[in-house]
Structure 1
Amino acid sequence: MKEPDWVEHAIWWQVFPLGFTGAEKTATAEPAEPHRLLDLVPWLDYVVELGASGLALGPIFASETHGYDTTDYFRVDPRLGTEEDVDTLIAEAHRRGLTVLLDGVFNHVGRSFGPFQEVLAHGPAADAGAWFSLQWPEGAGPGDEPEYRDFEGHHHLVALRHDEPAVADFVVEVMEHWLARGADGWRLDAAYAVPSSFWGEVTARVRRSHPDAYFVGEYIHGDYAAEVEAGGLDSTTQYELWKAVWSSLNDANFYELASAFERHNALLAAYAPLTFIGNHDVTRIASRLTHAALLPHAVVVLLTVGGTPSIYYGDEQGYRGVKEEREGGDDEIRPVFPPSPDDLSPLGRPVFALHRELIGIRRRHSWLHRATTEVLQLTNEVLAYRVASGDDALVVALNLSHEPQQVTAPGAREVLAGEATIDSDADSAEIPAREWAVLGPRSDEDASA
Structure 2
Amino acid sequence: MSWYNEAVFYHIYPLGLTGAPAQNDYSAPVHRLNTLLPWIDHIQKIGCTALYIGPLFESVGHGYETTDYKKLDSRLGTNEDLTNFVAACHEKGIRVIFDGVFNHTGRDFFAFKDIQANREHSRYVNWYCNVNFGGNTEYNDGFSYENWGGYNLLVKLNQRNPEVQNYICDVIRFWVSEFDIDGIRLDAADVLDFDFMRTLRHTADEVKKDFWLMGEVIHGDYSRWVNGGTLHSVTNYALHKALYSGHNDHNYFEIAHTVKYLQNMGDLDLYNFVDNHDVERIYTKLSNKAHFAPVHVLLYTLPGIPSIYYGSEFGIEGKKEKFSDASLRPALNLEDYKNAVTENPCTALIAALGKIRKATPGLSYGSYNELMLTNRQYAFARDLDNVRVIVTVNNDDNAAGMNLPVGSTAAYIGALSGKRAEVQGGRINVTIPANSGEIWIPEEQMKGETPVPAAIPKSVKPDVVKTKEEVADVAAEDSKDPDLLKTETAEKPVETNAEAAINTTIASEDSETVKTDLTKEESKEAKAPVKPDWSKSPEEMTVAELQAAILAKMAGNGPITDQMKKTVDDNIWHDSLVNWLKSFR
Give the shorter-chain TM-score range. over 0.9
d(CA) in 1 for partners of 2:422, 2:135: 83
Query: 1:40/1:261 Cα in 2 relative to 1: closer, same or farther (>3 Å)?
Result: same
Distance 1:102 1:120 in 2: 30
TM-score by length of 2: 0.71
- Give CA-to-partner distance per residue, 1:15-57, whole Å, 9 cap, x none: 00000000000012336x7101111111111111111111210
Equivalence for 1:429: 430
Bigger strand fraction:
1
- 1:152 equivalent to 2:152? Answer no
The runs of 5 or more residues in structure 2 that have no matched partner are 451-585
Equivalent residue, structure 2, for 1:192 = 190
Q: Name the structure 1 match of 2:415.
A: 416
Greater Rg over alpha carbons, structure: 2
In structure 2, how many angstroms separate the alpha carbons of the residues matched to 1:161 and 1:5? 32
What do residues 78-123 of structure 1 show as CA deviations (whole Å, max 9, x unaligned)? 0000000001101111111111110010001111111011111101
- Amino acid of the residue matched to residue 239 of structure 1? Y
Contact 1:69–1:110 under 8 Å retained in 2 = yes
Per the alignment, residue 111 of structure 1 pairs with 107
State which of 94, 103, 108 in structure 2 corresponds to 1:98: 94
Alignment deviations for residues 320-354 of structure 1 (CA, whole Å, 9 cap, x no partner): 1011231xx21111010115465577997211110
User: What is the CA–CA distance in structure 2 between the aligned matches of 1:347 and 1:281, rounded to whole Å?
Assistant: 29
Superposition deviation, residue 153 in structure 1: 0.6
Confirm or deny that 1:291 pairs with 2:292.
no
- Where in structure 2 are the equivalents of 1:34-53 lying within 5 Å? 34-53=30-49
Q: 1:19 to 1:236 in 2, by over 3 A?
A: same
Superimposed CA distance per residue, residues 353-408 of structure 1 (whole angstroms, 9 cap, x where no aligned partner):
10011111100013322333222111111111112234232111111223322213
- Specify whether residues 448 and 433 from structure 1 end up closer, same or farther in structure 2 by C-alpha distance, changes over 3 A only: closer
> Which amino acid counterpart does residue 116 of structure 1 have in structure 2?
F
The DSSP-based 3-state class of the residue aligned with 1:127 is coil
Q: Residues 413 and 209 of structure 1: is their aligned pair in 2 closer, same or farther, counting only changes over 3 Å?
A: closer
Alignment check: 8 A CA contact 1:307 1:370 kept: no
Higher relative contact order (CA 8 A, sep 6+): 1
Q: Give the AA of the match of 1:224.
A: Y
In structure 2, give the amino acid aligned to 1:363.
K
Find 1:246's aligned residue among 238, 244, 247.
244
Identify the match of residue 133 of structure 1 among 124, 129, 133. Answer: 129
Q: Distance in 2 between matches of 1:168 and 1:188?
A: 14
- Measured in 2, the distance between the counterparts of 1:334 and 1:109 equals 22
Question: What's the % identity of the aligned pairs?
Answer: 32
Separation of aligned partners in 2, 1:418 and 1:167: 54
1:168 aligned partner: 165
Contact 1:187 1:217 in 2 (8 A): yes
C-alpha offsets along residues 146-190 of structure 1, whole Å, 9 cap, x if unaligned? Answer: 111100111211111111111100110111101112111100000
In structure 1, the partner of 2:298 is: 301
- Aligned partners of 2:135 and 2:438: how far apart in 1? 70
Distance 1:266-1:138 versus aligned 2 partners, 3 A rule: closer
Greater CA deviation, 419-428 or 128-137?
419-428
CA contact (8 A) 2:135 2:143 kept: no
Q: 1:349 to 1:152 in 2, by over 3 A?
A: same
Distance in 1 of aligned mates of 2:365 and 2:230 = 19
Of 399-408 and 52-61, the range deviating more from structure 2: 399-408
* Aligned position for 2:375: 380
Unaligned runs of 5+ in 1: none
2:264 alignment partner, one of 252, 261, 266: 266
Contact 1:416 1:440 in 2 (8 A): yes
CA contact (8 A) 2:20 2:76 kept: yes
Q: How many angstroms apart in 2 are the aligned matches of 1:323 and 1:332?
A: 7
Aligned length: 440
Partner of 1:276: 273
Q: 1:168 to 1:422 in 2, by over 3 A?
A: same
Q: Cα deviation per residue 1:395-446 (whole Å; 9 max; x = unaligned)?
A: 1111122332221332362111148673532522122233322112113578
- Distance (whole Å) between structure 1 residues aligned to residue 217 and residue 234 of structure 2: 6
TM-score (norm 1): 0.92
Q: Which residue of 1 aligns with 2:226?
A: 228
- Cα distance 1:431–1:138, how it changes in 2: closer, same or farther (>3 A)? closer
- Give secondary structure in 2 for the equivalent of 1:427: strand
Structure 1 residue runs of 4 or more that deviate by more than 4 Å after TM superposition? 341-348, 418-421, 444-449
Write the distance in 1 (CA, Å) between the matches of 2:321 and 2:339.
Answer: 25
